[in-house]
């Protein structure tokens, strides 16, 4: 494709539809006998999205490959029986509720890192965090697999592009110096190898806690900390906004 940017300045590929051959990638991936994990959270009213997300992800996310879905929820008894593809497995994990949605959001990095340490590292090779309030309409395949993967926010392709929405207050651990920053990444879809996702989530949660001790909350909560991390730890692969398009932008 010549109509979009397909390579970053640090030579990481940017994946758009039409820039890869999924058949070739599938054959390579199959030989490695890998398992990919997906983490998602359904807390408070978000349990409403479980069926739509799970049914579409079961159908379209790495179809034909082994995927473990880790569903964190404060209401596990509400989970009806979901029919999964033979190669997919669903694990429902109880999680604590918080009164403020911001606290729920910012605790996710801590939960993910703790479960990587205690469980996920023994069960999957790659791990992706995806928001529950989405539905997949097209196949998402092994073209997303790499060591550290960020998804370019659709904000970057709208009228709000210029601001990039970075945290700029220097007292925040998520602050990005003026004039710096490559892309604006969404926290709604990111991942990579288990080891790299562990480092990312640990670092982001550390920043969140340091901010909290200093009485500040980053502009876009854990997403601000994610952008700070990915500025100094460059992703090895970027997914285009096609992979997570926010209709509200």
Active site residues: 223
Q: Is 223 annotated as a binding residue?
A: yes
Q: Is 137 annotated as a binding residue?
A: no
What is the distance between the alpha carbons of residues 193 and 147, in angstroms, rounded to a whole number? 5
Q: Is 146 annotated as a binding residue?
A: no
Residues 63, 141 contacting (CB under 8 angstroms): yes
Q: Is 210 annotated as a binding residue?
A: no
Please give the radius of gyration of the chain, using alpha carbons only, rounded to the nearest integer. Answer: 18
What is the distance between the alpha carbons of residues 206 and 185, in angstroms, rounded to a whole number? 19
Tell me the sheet residues that pair with 238: 14, 150
Q: Is 131 annotated as a binding residue?
A: yes
Reported residue count of the chain is 249
Q: Is 195 annotated as a binding residue?
A: no
Q: Is 126 annotated as a binding residue?
A: no
User: 143 vs 61, 107, 184, CA distance in Å?
Assistant: 11, 29, 21
Q: Is 42 annotated as a binding residue?
A: yes
Q: Is 38 annotated as a binding residue?
A: no
């Amino acid at each position: 494709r010549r109509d979009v940017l397909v390579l970053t300045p640090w030579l990481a590929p940017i994946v758009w539809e039409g820039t890869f051959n999924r058949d070739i990638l599938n054959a390579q991936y199959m030989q490695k006998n890998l398992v990919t994990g997906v983490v998602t959270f359904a807390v408070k009213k978000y349990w409403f999205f479980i069926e739509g997300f799970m049914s579409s992800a079961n159908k379209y996310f790495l179809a034909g490959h082994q995927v473990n879905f880790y569903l964190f929820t404060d209401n596990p008894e509400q989970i009806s029986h979901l029919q999964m593809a033979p190669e997919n497995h669903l694990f429902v994990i109880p999680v604590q509720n918080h009164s403020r949605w911001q606290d729920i959001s910012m605790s996710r990095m801590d939960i993910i890192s703790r479960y990587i340490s205690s469980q996920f590292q023994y069960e999957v090779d790659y791990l992706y965090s995806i928001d529950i309030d989405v539905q997949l309409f097209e196949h998402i395949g092994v073209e997303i697999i790499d060591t550290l993967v960020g998804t370019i926010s659709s904000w970057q392709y709208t009228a709000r592009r210029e601001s990039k929405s970075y945290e700029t207050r220097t007292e925040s651990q998520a602050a990005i110096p003026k004039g710096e920053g490559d892309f604006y990444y969404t926290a709604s879809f990111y991942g990579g190898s288990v080891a790299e996702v562990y480092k990312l989530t640990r670092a982001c949660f550390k920043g969140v806690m340091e901010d909290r001790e200093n009485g500040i909350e980053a502009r876009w909560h854990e997403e601000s900390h994610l952008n700070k991390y990915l500025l100094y730890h460059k992703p090895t692969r970027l997914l285009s906004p096609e992979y997570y398009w926010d209709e509200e932008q």
